[in-house]
Amino acid sequence: MQQLALFDLDNTLLPIDSDVSWANFLVDIKVVNADWYSKRNDYFYAQYCAGTLNIAEFLDFQLAPLAQHPRAQLLTWREQFIQEVIRPNLHPNAKALVQQHQDSGALCAIVTATNAFITGPIAREFGLQHLIATEVETDADGNFTGRPHGLPSFREGKVTRVNQWLAQQGLGLSDFSSSLFYSDSFNDLPLLAAVTDPIAVNPDQRLRAHAISAGWPVLALFDRTATTDD
């Protein structure tokens, strides 16, 4: 039987948060009001870290700039973002971890709350075909409306979205010899609890405590030599 390997993205495969970094990038290139946007960005990130994020309120904020500019301009900015922000943060240990599972024949996917417009090219940087991310609604002309499409891939939504993705392939979690999910965040506890092999990667304080209590592996992926505490 095949193995399933799922990866959170921000602060898991990347040593940064791509959502936060994208917002900071928009500030840097003067697309948004720097003072207001930075404060709101910090406000939502603090909520996320505290486990109290209102995902609908956050997506109203985070997706709004996508609706204010034509797709061609957004694609230009996104390529600049990938080049200047993401590629310098592609850590060899993270790429090796993904490659290890791909080489073993596992079905691999990134599962992230960050929207698919930002994370699509990041998944490709890791050589991953499958991405489960928060989708963004488009109008008849293909431009973004600033609203999410479907269920956001956040907290319990990650479990639902993974199950939907597998069902489209005629599969379920029980069809795999083992299912792994790598994550840094206590917000991902629902999906971590749903797989056979949850792995805490660069975990926040609450996830570290939970993982140690539950006997889950804890992986320090961005050390010079990645180590695991069992």
Please identify every residue annotated as catalytic: 8, 10
Each as own residue / partner, the long-range contacts of residues 84-88 (CB below 8 Å, 24 or more positions apart, any chain) are 84/25, 85/16, 85/21, 85/22, 85/25, 86/14, 86/18, 86/21, 86/121, 86/122, 86/125, 87/125
Cβ-defined contacts of 48-52 (< 8 Å, 24+): 48/185, 48/187, 49/204, 51/186, 51/187, 51/206
Token output for 13: 């495969």
Strand partners, 107: 4
Query: Could you tell me the two tokens for 157?
Result: 């939504």
* Alpha helix ranges (H) inside 109-195: 116-125, 156-168, 189-194
Cross-strand partners of 219? 201, 228
**Sign (positive/negative) of CA torsion 16, 48, 63, 95?**
positive
- Degrees (nearest 5) of the Cα angle 189, 125, 216? 25
